[in-house]
Chains A and B, each alone.
Chain A
Amino acid sequence: MLDKTVYLDNAASTRLDERVLEAMKPYYFDTYAVATSEFGYSMGIDAKEGLENARAGIASSLGASPEEIVFTSGETESSNMAIKGVASALMKKKGNHIIVSKIEDFPVLNTARTLEKQGCRADYISVSPEGILNLEELENAITENTALVSVQHANQEIGTLQDIKAIAEICKEKGVLLHTDATHSFTRVPLDVSKIPVDLVTMSAHTIHGPRGVGALYIREGTPINKWMDGGFQESNRRAGLENIPGAVGFAKAVELVTPEENRFLASLRDHTIKRAEEEVPHVTLNGSRNQRVPQNANITFHYVEGESMTLHLDMRGFAVSTGSACFSRSLEASHVIMGIGGDHERAHGSLRFSFGRYNSMEDVDGIIDAVKEIVSQLRTISPLYEKNK
């Protein structure tokens, strides 16, 4: 093991911030009771207070009311709950049609596929080469039977930000509910539900140095949604199961710790990565939009070389990043996002995703770009494609 791993895979998960852990600790060791009603015992009432303070914190960061926030186990549960909950509530009243984008993360994409198997109809809207949703296609796809549109705020791989305001306005005009998966934009890019008429928002703590296994779903007051997981009456009878109070408290603390300065710093790491890669390595393509992009993501294809070979060489030098190459994934399928933006296997094959976080420095970025330069040039000398194309 090298003395220090330079971790640049913060879109996958992040290192917990110590201050988050400190905020959580009392709810494991002192105030560990379940949240009780005000007629319960003191420790339960204190626990409830901790939970409600956390809820208020998350709500205010989104411009929502506390009652509109439901804590969940993370991104996957939030998105399942939003889509399945609304589809089941509206199936008979409005229709069984849902619309998602082609480049959604798996919780949304696979939920749509499952609903299709259960008799719903789903449309998958295409995106531009930069990953931006085709608004005209969306508008045309909405019918009177459409129950829900689900379009992510930011993409998990290429970091492209959608114009969620424009999407929300289309949906509002057509009288259709809108869910957005904001896992990769929450706190990094402003999203104010008091200004943008989005109805449901997926959030997760694990991408912002909070605990993993905690997330939340914003549900605009009055949104028709059925409970999809049966159990007790927690979370105002919207989400069954013992409340994860330490997790909720940690999530709220993590939200509080993100600052505009930090986001600007992450953007500087992103811009430096892109700039150096484009200036110093020949034959590269930036994946995603140059301007409509979250501050913490850079995704670049290094042509004529394969991603798993690059990540393995980088790992040997102490750098952790991920790639959209089929060889890297558990499913051995190339990234559906890169394919969705009109790329082919070749584009996915040589892509690296650099995602930045609080514990990264400019030295980390310079270090990995220096390493990538050497590795790419070494792998290109053995690539049968390089000589032909250079």
Chain B
Amino acid sequence: MKFPYSEKVLEHFRNPRNVGKMENPDGKGMEGSPACGDMVAVYLQVNPDTKVIDDVKFESYGCASNIATASIITELAKGKTIDEAKKITWKEATEELGGLPPVKAHCSVLAVEGLRSAIRDYEEKHGLVSAQEPTTEAVVRSRLKHVMNPMAGLDIVRTELVTKIDVNDGNVRILLNLPSNHQFAAAIREDILEKIESLWDVKEVKVVFTE
């Protein structure tokens, strides 16, 4: 049988490690969106004193590359401190897997981003965000790059769905080039709120549609 994946990818795909939901995680990250394709959730249990990741779990709604990368990344992260785990790159994960087909980069990057977003969530919840940077338009924009445009399968910034971002004293206003009655309007709005409301100094987020 010929598969387009390495033995190790197939092994992790068949028997993914650290799989499942975690009750009351210390940190949680979710990347991707069901409306547009692959999605991955990462849950962390962190030792409050040593900041070592004691336990990590993932869930995937994705293809083989997504599942295998998420599986290997949990193996790499377990036992590391959150600062060490933050530095795990997509390149390291794919090398550990014996390589991935280039077209599958998108699906596997999602798993790495899932881990980073779980760590960020932990840091935000535990007041660890060093030198809390005020939220600016640039910060909002970079977060919106993680919100998918289901019509294109790419993020809403890249596909120019975001027309304007205003940040004023903790009030964030995001203008979208999309009518409010569009079939994906509610899903995109929900996704935006989830990504922006957790910023430490944000008080209110408004998503404005074209009509």
Interface residues of A (CB under 8 A from B): 1-2, 304-309, 312, 315-316, 325-328, 332-334, 344-346, 349, 381-385, 387
Contact indicator B41/A327 (Cβ below 8 Å) = no
Q: Which residues of A contact B66 (CB under 8 A)?
A: 306
Closest Cβ neighbor of B1 among chain A residues: A1
Contact indicator A308/B63 (Cβ below 8 Å) = yes
Q: Which residues of A contact B103 (CB under 8 A)?
A: 332
With A325-B63, A382-B19, A385-B34 already in contact, the answer to whether A345 and B150 are too (CB < 8 A) is yes
Contact indicator B62/A387 (Cβ below 8 Å) = no
Q: For A308, A333, A385, which residue has the most chain B Cβ atoms within 10 angstroms? A: A308
Contact indicator B59/A384 (Cβ below 8 Å) = yes
B143 in contact (CB, < 8 A): no
Q: Which residues of B contact A308 (CB under 8 A)?
A: 63-64
Contact indicator A309/B67 (Cβ below 8 Å) = yes
A sample of 23 inter-chain contacts (CB < 8 A) reads A305-B61, A306-B62, A307-B63, A309-B67, A312-B13, A326-B153, A327-B107, A332-B153, A345-B37, A345-B150, A346-B34, A382-B16, A382-B19, A382-B20, A382-B59, A382-B67, A383-B61, A384-B30, A384-B40, A384-B41, A384-B60, A384-B61, A387-B21
Q: Main secondary structure on chain B at its contact with chain A? A: mixed
Contact indicator A345/B35 (Cβ below 8 Å) = yes
Q: Main secondary structure on chain A at its contact with chain B? A: loop
Question: Quick one: which of B1, B14, B37 contacts A334, CB cutoff 8 A?
Answer: B37
Interface size for B (C-beta < 8 A) is 35
Q: Which residues of B contact A304 (CB under 8 A)?
A: 61
Q: Which residues of A contact B61 (CB under 8 A)?
A: 304-306, 349, 383-385
Q: Which residues of A contact B30 (CB under 8 A)?
A: 384
Closest Cβ neighbor of A323 among chain B residues: B63
Interface residues of B (CB under 8 A from A): 1, 3, 13-14, 16, 19-21, 30, 34-41, 58-67, 103-104, 106-107, 150, 153, 183-184
Q: Which residues of A contact B35 (CB under 8 A)?
A: 344-346
User: In whole angstroms, what is the CA distance A65 to B113 when docked?
Assistant: 63
User: In whole angstroms, what is the CA distance A346 to B148 when docked?
Assistant: 13
B11 to chain A, nearest CB (A): 12
Contact indicator A315/B3 (Cβ below 8 Å) = yes
Q: Which residues of B contact A385 (CB under 8 A)?
A: 34, 39, 61
Q: For B1, B13, B63, B183, which residue has the most chain A Cβ atoms within 10 angstroms? A: B63
